[in-house]
Structure 1
């Protein structure tokens, strides 16, 4: 990461040591049981006649990981808000580098689900990975409100301007671009496109709040902070978000999408710290539902 590069060797070494100590449990061969919130919600859905939830299995004798994605299920947004804990899909990742670590706690955020750290015992300055080459987590989802959705990650990193990022992908239009908006330009609230052909549809998502600090700050575009906003999403279609490893000693425990109006300022907008934003980051885990009719949404729809 080339954003405001500084030399903080002592701080990074101390932070890396702390994160290594926290990430004490490697993910098992099969996924853990769903979080209490998700399990309770799934039970409620079944009782009302909804599709059977495809929740992760705790069966130690399972031949392969049983996850929402591997069972053809999807996470269902509610009220224009989607909150997903990627840990449930980690057992089915393309690499075993994701390690389970204790859940982060703060005055403004509490969760019962564990976080994931990519290679917590590696050097903070390990070479970064190319887009989509390792540790790919597939997170299929549906929305219930049509519109653009702001993308947020709740993350922590070992560095301020290095080792502070992960790859993210969605069904971008024609697989050629992602939508972004300049954080520092309040006079222009329009979305622009960035080309993702060379990166296989992935964009870099990073945060610069300080080593070892959990944050919702989620930026893209080096040295020019932009927020990421999806294409227009339609209810009834299944989209697939992907997180892929990039930097070592990077932790994440939530992917959040929330419907917002890119032209508004304040409440209802895609801005930080509005009521819309706060309700999204405080949302319960989305329930994993059964396979939806129509299959996975395609680009250009």
Structure 2
């Protein structure tokens, strides 16, 4: 009887260890968050929205040319800041400090890309670059229209270094960024590059939404990505 009980306990311990090794830990939203190499992929633990902590990436030669991790007391996590010790308002062309993020698509559909970011000013000195190599669309009032895989400015008009979700493009005429139709299990990649000093990024988000020719109200609503659990990387 004792031998059977010991064998059963040993089996349960082994199974627990194997399960823990197979299932990655949820990424913590603190300054001690693990990092994700650019060749690995972010996965949504549940639902149809993928929320990625911007600063939880490997610090390597791809992005040491301007990005810095900086702890945010307001958010209780590290954020990604461009030109953390610089206060010049000048902007730079895309291609410096490029960081790549790979995302596994959780369900078939089109997705809005967004960012939780903060900037010192409301109308300038408030943006960074983003690029989808496979192409992306823009939309405001009409239907989404493709703009290819070029670099696009993403900005916030909130100012006062206050974090908020959004991420529009086209100066003074904010357009959402909408992906092409994606399939469950497909991996989509986007890249960022620094542009304005002191711009801070907390999260990136991709949430599935219905696109219509009237500005896609379900894509404008960012509650789904705000409430989404933090993605996991493996």
Which residue does 2:111 correspond to in 1? 149
- CA distance 1:159–1:90, shift in 2 (3 Å): farther
Q: Secondary structure at the match of 1:279?
A: helix
Contact 1:262 1:270 in 2 (8 A): yes
Which residue does 2:102 correspond to in 1? 140
Q: Which of the pair is proportionally richer in strand?
A: 2
Q: Secondary structure at the match of 1:125?
A: coil
Q: Secondary structure at the match of 1:270?
A: helix
Structure 1 position 47, deviation (Å)? 2.1
CA distance in 1, matches of 2:110, 2:63: 29
Which residue does 2:211 correspond to in 1? 262
Structure 1: gaps spanning 5 or more residues: 1-43, 56-65, 106-110, 290-301
Q: Secondary structure at the match of 1:216?
A: strand
Structure 1 position 103, deviation (Å)? 2.4
2:65 is aligned with 1:103 = no
Q: Secondary structure at the match of 2:190?
A: strand
Structure 2: gaps spanning 5 or more residues: 1-15, 28-33
Q: Secondary structure at the match of 2:59?
A: helix
CA distance in 2, matches of 1:257, 1:116: 18
1:180 to 122, 125, 138: 138
1:130 to 61, 83, 93: 93
> 1:235-254 maps to which residues of 2 (within 5 A)?
235-254=184-203
> 1:1-301 maps to which residues of 2 (within 5 A)?
47=19, 50=22, 67-70=35-38, 72-77=39-44, 78-89=46-57, 91-92=59-60, 93-103=62-72, 105=74, 111-126=75-90, 128-131=91-94, 133-173=95-135, 178-182=136-140, 185=141, 188=142, 190-196=143-149, 201-263=150-212, 269-272=218-221, 277-289=222-234
CA distance in 1, matches of 2:20, 2:211: 35
Structure 1 position 83, deviation (Å)? 0.6
TM-score under structure 1 normalisation? 0.62
Q: Deviations over 1:178-232 (max 9, x none)?
A: 31111xx3xx3x1112355xxxx22111111123221112110123211111111
CA distance in 1, matches of 2:170, 2:100: 23
Q: Number of residues paired by the alignment?
A: 211
CA distance in 1, matches of 2:97, 2:106: 29
Q: Secondary structure at the match of 2:218?
A: coil
- CA distance 1:232–1:266, shift in 2 (3 Å): closer
Aligned CA RMSD, in angstroms, stands at 2.9
Q: Indicate the structure (1 or 2) with the bigger Cα radius of gyration.
A: 2
Q: Secondary structure at the match of 2:173?
A: coil
Contact 1:124 1:158 in 2 (8 A): no
Contact 1:69 1:140 in 2 (8 A): no
